[in-house]
Amino acid sequence: MTEDVGRGTVLAGRYRVVDPLPSDLDGVSVWRATDQILDRPVRVRVLQSGAVAPALDAARRAALVTDSRLVRVLDVGMHEGVGYVVSEQITGASLAQLVERGPLTPDQARAVVGEAAAALEVARRRGVHHLALRPSVVHVSADGRVLVSGLAIDAALLGAGQGDAHATSRTDAVDLVRLLYTGLTGRWPAGRDDPRMTGVQAAPVLDGFPVPPGELEPGIPNDLDTLCAVTFGPHDDGPHSPGDVVHELEPWGEIRIGRAADDAGGRGGAAGAVAAGAAVAAAAADQPERPTAPVRVARQSVRTAFDELPAGTPRPGTPPPAIPARSGIPAGRVERTGVLPTGAAGAVPTPVVPATLPPVAPAPEPWDDGVGSFADDPFSFVEDDEPRRRFDPTALVLVIVGVVVLIGLVFAARALFDAPGGDRAPVADETTQQEPAATDDAAPPVAAEPTDAPQDAAPPAIASIRTFDPTDPLGERVENVELAIDGDPSTFWFSYTYNRPDFAGLKEGMGLELTLAQEATVSGVTINVNGTGGNVEVRATTAATPTEGPLLASSTLSQSTVLEFTEPVQASTLVLYFTELPTNAAGQFRIEVTEITVS
């Protein structure tokens, strides 16, 4: 049927075929085409043979999944007995082209596969799986955006069975780790007869399992090397879903593949491969080289450093030589001449002592004002022979204690004699006795309500918490959401990571629903997060209608955001609706909630 579709063919009276593109699946031809109605470039896959009907059905299911990292399916149909699938145009080189000249750096491999795993986790939650991942279906555009093509379609064309949910999720998770292995080593960790191994060298095998990437390339982090080793090992270890792969790889940084890779991805044949190699070389030139050996820091002993000083130079921190004691100078006094001899900078002068000293007269007493008294020497310190008299506060303290005890006795005596059973009755009781007895018609006394009841009331307790996403009935990142109310600020729940604070345009927002232990009066909510920015709204409603009900409070987020209501409300459920994402310490756009309390 190749003759039926060629340059100039108009499929379904709308899509004009322009140029052929490479294809790695038998019975499938790929074309660059033009949508003549919307006047835009598209990509058309013509299904010439094989499981055409299942592939078209899979394409219709893939069209229901919306994610910026998945190639959008725009149209599915038949043209004169030939099936076709129209999708958006793919820009950028594939992973197979990027590793032709050498593997990616560990950081770039982590980021590329992490983005692909996040996209497939979105598809998994809608019941759609890829099941045919390979280096040729993962593309990186010039602006660092990852695109995954062939969702569900390629698996149908290859005849891969769907299986149960656990098996399909595990298949995609293992294939994502295979892509990570390829990015780290430039080799595909599967058998040589694997139909998906196109254009990539096979990885070496030891005892039936791929050799760990750390043994092929230096500088691979331990976590990535261990992830590949346990996933391909004899046991069913490692991630079991794309979401598990995201947990293993995050956080990752920005993708910095050169713009030349975008040009290489748009070309076919050998020219595309050569340009892809140039893209890798350009990207490698902008990135630091991976060290071939551990970096060693030269260390020098402090003692050996002092040995290099000139002879006679005092070492730093060494005290000056002791001054010979002169007879007649009492202990505790230090005599200083006040004159420093000239010498090298920083040198400690040594006082010159005559060989013979004249007889020294006995030192005068400290109170002697005669000539030669130490009182005349401004550099002398005289130690008193007698200790100074200091104020002793013991007597004052005893007096104060005695006064306090006396006052206490007076108050105790008054309380004893003023008791109801004493000789003197309280004034209030005398007044009560003078009043006439109350009649039977008198109303019983009303007990006064305590005025401090609101202050002593315990704050409302949060019974449960769950996430919600207007675009996903299951919610967003439902795992470990209870960490946001566990009372431990060292643990936190976090959302998915997005490229922009507006959820990358995928949705208007997402949030958390708080269910209180019982209906109570609520006056505010405190949210502690890791990061700043973004926006959150609080409403007394449910996750089913997060934007209905009065807006109680809204604010940008900080490490501790206190949302006080204008007036307290009676509520059993509260909704925290995030309309914009904050930025965490790593510069990522996602929500990290450490603790939520209600007051």
Query: What single string gives the DSSP state of each residue in 538-599?
Result: EESS-TTSTT-S-EEEEEEE-SEEEEEEEEEEEEEEEEEEEEE--B-TTS-B--EEEEEEE-
- Average pLDDT value for residue range 321-349: 43
- Average pLDDT value for residue range 199-216: 89
- Report how far residue 154's alpha carbon sits from residue 156's, in angstroms, rounded to the nearest whole number: 5
Nearest to 495 by CA among 579, 584, 583, 592: 592
- pLDDT of residue 381 exceeding 50, the answer is no
- pLDDT of residue 366 exceeding 60, the answer is no
Q: Which residue has the higher pLDDT, 360 or 522?
A: 522
Choice among 143-147, 283-287, 348-352 with the minimum mean pLDDT: 283-287
pLDDT for 197: 61
pLDDT for 456: 54
- The reply to whether CATH 1.10.3720.10 applies to domain 2-88 is no
- pLDDT of residue 386 exceeding 50, the answer is no
Mean pLDDT score across all residues of the chain: 77
- Report how far residue 78's alpha carbon sits from residue 340's, in angstroms, rounded to the nearest whole number: 104
Q: Which residue has the higher pLDDT, 37 or 262?
A: 37
pLDDT for 84: 96
pLDDT for 399: 87
CATH number of 93-285: 1.10.510.10
- DSSP of 413-445: HHHHHTSTTSSS--HHHHHHHHSPPPPTTSPPP
- Average pLDDT value for residue range 293-322: 43
Record the pTM: 0.48
pLDDT for 104: 96
Nearest to 79 by CA among 50, 38, 47: 47
- Average pLDDT value for residue range 362-370: 44
- pLDDT of residue 30 exceeding 60, the answer is yes
pLDDT tens-digit map of 129-186 = 999 999 999 999 988 999 999 999 999 998 886 678 889 999 999 999 999 999 999 9
pLDDT for 258: 52
Q: Which residue has the higher pLDDT, 165 or 422?
A: 165
Choice among 77-81, 421-425, 541-545 with the minimum mean pLDDT: 421-425
- pLDDT of residue 538 exceeding 60, the answer is yes
Q: Which residue has the higher pLDDT, 285 or 419?
A: 419
- Report how far residue 583's alpha carbon sits from residue 599's, in angstroms, rounded to the nearest whole number: 26
pLDDT for 336: 41
pLDDT tens-digit map of 227-243 = 999 999 888 889 999 99
- pLDDT of residue 363 exceeding 60, the answer is no
- Report how far residue 125's alpha carbon sits from residue 107's, in angstroms, rounded to the nearest whole number: 27
Q: For the chain, which residues make up each domain, given as ranges?
A: 2-88, 93-285, 459-598
Percent of residues, the chain, with pLDDT higher than 90: 46
Q: Which residue has the higher pLDDT, 588 or 382?
A: 588
- pLDDT of residue 449 exceeding 60, the answer is no
- pLDDT of residue 118 exceeding 80, the answer is yes
Q: Is the dihedral of CA 87, 88, 94, 95 positive or negative?
A: negative
Nearest to 498 by CA among 477, 527, 475, 468: 477
- Report how far residue 224's alpha carbon sits from residue 216's, in angstroms, rounded to the nearest whole number: 13
pLDDT for 350: 47
Q: Which residue has the higher pLDDT, 292 or 316?
A: 316
Tell me the CB-side half-sphere exposure of residue 127, using CA atoms within 13 A.
6
What confidence category does residue 354 fall into, taking pLDDT thresholds of 50, 70 and 90? very low
| Residue 214 near residue 227, CB atoms below 8 Å | no
Percent of residues, the chain, with pLDDT higher than 70: 69
Q: Give the pairing type, strands 493-494 and 560-580.
A: unpaired
Nearest to 597 by CA among 534, 540, 516: 516
Nearest to 70 by CA among 157, 128, 11, 155: 128
Which residue do the tokens 């569900």 mark?
Answer: 152
Helix axis angle for 106-124 and 165-185, nearest 10°, is 160
| Residue 14 near residue 41, CB atoms below 8 Å | no
- pLDDT of residue 323 exceeding 50, the answer is no
pLDDT for 181: 96
- pLDDT of residue 500 exceeding 50, the answer is yes
pLDDT for 262: 47
Q: Which residue has the higher pLDDT, 218 or 477?
A: 218
- pLDDT of residue 376 exceeding 70, the answer is no
Choice among 31-35, 69-73, 180-184, 448-452 with the minimum mean pLDDT: 448-452
pLDDT for 119: 97
What confidence category does residue 200 fall into, taking pLDDT thresholds of 50, 70 and 90? confident
What confidence category does residue 311 fall into, taking pLDDT thresholds of 50, 70 and 90? low
pLDDT for 312: 54
- pLDDT of residue 368 exceeding 90, the answer is no
Q: Which residue has the higher pLDDT, 414 or 31?
A: 31
pLDDT tens-digit map of 425-436 = 444 444 444 444
pLDDT for 475: 85
Helix axis angle for 165-185 and 222-231, nearest 10°, is 130
Strand segments (E) across 49-126: 73-79, 82-88, 93-94
CATH number of 459-598: 2.60.120.260
